[in-house]
Structure 1
Amino acid sequence: MSIVRGSDRHLVRRITQLYVGLLLYGASAALMVRAGLGLDPWDVFHQGVSEHTGLSIGTVSIIVGAMVLLLWWPIRERPGLGTVSNVFLVGLSMDATLWLLPQPDALAYRIPLLLGGVVLNGAATGLYISARFGPGPRDGLMTGLHRVTGRSIRLVRTGIEVVVLLTGILLGGSAGVGTVLYALAIGPLAQFFLRFFALPGSAGAGEASRVVAQGGGAEGHTTLRR
């Protein structure tokens, strides 16, 4: 009975980490939006599409995530609980946080928002990746293409994000110092928080940390970033 209870507690912790992590990921993205100093590549794209459609950036994130998930079929990737939850919760959390958080004008407020958003993003990444409930839609596309093409994770991720970033800029998305800061900081931050939130006896977090260290960023074989 004690083994069963221990297993139940382990599952509860995993589910908690998954959903807290996803909600915080959306909140961290919203902080970067409010900072107005540049977003991560996918959110530059989401913001650009939002500008042209009138849809909220969170809604665009959900739609894009669902569309990317459809691309899993030809490359034979399999979604998990974390995959489906990722599609919906990150966008909903982002829109909710943007609704609650006013737009600051002073740079003295925007810079801390940016820094806080990047650090919170790293913490959120560590939380939900360590839960090990499957990759997010954008991750699965990257790892699937890596498997199908034989190209490195670093090369595939860079190629995808360059295309997404440039398209987002052309659509009017916000790229700037925050984009550069995110690119430089998210790998080390994710690696630190993966280890910090690793579940006892978990090998998955260690593998994810290895991929992060090799240039996979927060998007490795065992990850589920957006």
Structure 2
Amino acid sequence: MSKKHQILPQTRWTATSFWSLEFRSLSVLLLSFVIVGIGDGLLLLSNLGSAPWTILSQGVALQGGFGVGWASLLISIMVMLAWFPLKLKLGLGTLLNILVIALFLGITTAYVPAPTSLLGRLVFVFIGVFCFGVGTAFYLTCHQGAGPRDGLMVGLCQRFHWRIGIVRTSIEVTVCLLGFLLGGTVGIGTVVFALSIGWVVQLSLMVINRSPCLLDNT
């Protein structure tokens, strides 16, 4: 892929392969997932609406008559099937995405007090979106595979040379609308996440790409 259309920059912590265990890349990968998990937890604690993919899981669960967890798993499998025409690969990041984010989502919701004022809840939403977006950008630059939903975003951007902000926003808004039509509950936090997460990821990648000290120039 030409540098002009390179979606994810090569950084000093970029791994040599999808499954390699290198201290620098593994450290960034784990730290990034911790940050994403905390951000996801703050969004949940705000009680102003879940992320769009969670809304879709709720809607599918309602229509299918089974649990949200099973609905989320089903959606993840279906999304990953869309990886094949996009020529995406599984990697260490794909596995750790599922495990570490879920772990720190649970820790955050268990030990961080939920805000009671509307202002506090809104602050949690914006901090949550920021953490989610920045963490996503950094883990993707490890080049060790993406989570199911992030992989769809990256694959579409690489295939059609579209901007991450536009692609991610389009995906999140579509998922949010579909989830709502299926019976999921949408809140202010859901809308903020859907409209802003893609641009936070894109801006974070731009900052990384314009920081010579972070790039691999070899």
Quickly name the TM-score band, shorter chain normalised: 0.5 to 0.7
1:111 aligns with 2:122: yes
Equivalent residues of 1:48, 1:168 under 8 A apart: yes
Q: Identify the match of residue 90 of structure 1 among 74, 82, 101.
A: 101
Paired position in structure 2 for 1:201: 215
1:81 aligns with 2:74: no
User: Which structure has the higher relative contact order (CA within 8 Å, separation 6+)?
Assistant: 2
Paired position in structure 2 for 1:175: 186
Q: Identify the match of residue 23 of structure 2 among 1, 6, 12.
A: 12
State the distance in 2 between where 1:167 and 1:177 align: 16
State the distance in 2 between where 1:31 and 1:193 align: 20
Equivalent residues of 1:83, 1:135 under 8 A apart: yes
Paired position in structure 2 for 1:213: none
Task: Indicate the SS of the match to 1:131.
Answer: coil
State the distance in 2 between where 1:101 and 1:48 align: 28
1:129 aligns with 2:148: no
State the distance in 2 between where 1:26 and 1:50 align: 23
Q: For residue 139 of structure 1, report the CA deviation from its aligned partner.
A: 2.9
Equivalent residues of 2:168, 2:198 under 8 A apart: no
Paired position in structure 2 for 1:65: 76
Task: Indicate the SS of the match to 1:38.
Answer: coil
State the distance in 2 between where 1:168 and 1:153 align: 24
What amino acid is aligned across from residue 202 of structure 1 in structure 2?
Answer: D
CA 1:133 to 1:95, structure 2 compared with 1: closer, same or farther past 3 Å? same
Aligned pairs, how many?
193
Let me know the Cα RMSD of the aligned residues.
Answer: 3.7
| Identical aligned residues as a percent | 35
The alignment's TM-score, normalised by the length of structure 2, stands at 0.66
Which stretches in structure 1 are left out of the alignment for 5+ residues?
Answer: 1-6, 204-226
Task: Indicate the SS of the match to 2:48.
Answer: coil
Equivalent residues of 2:37, 2:101 under 8 A apart: yes
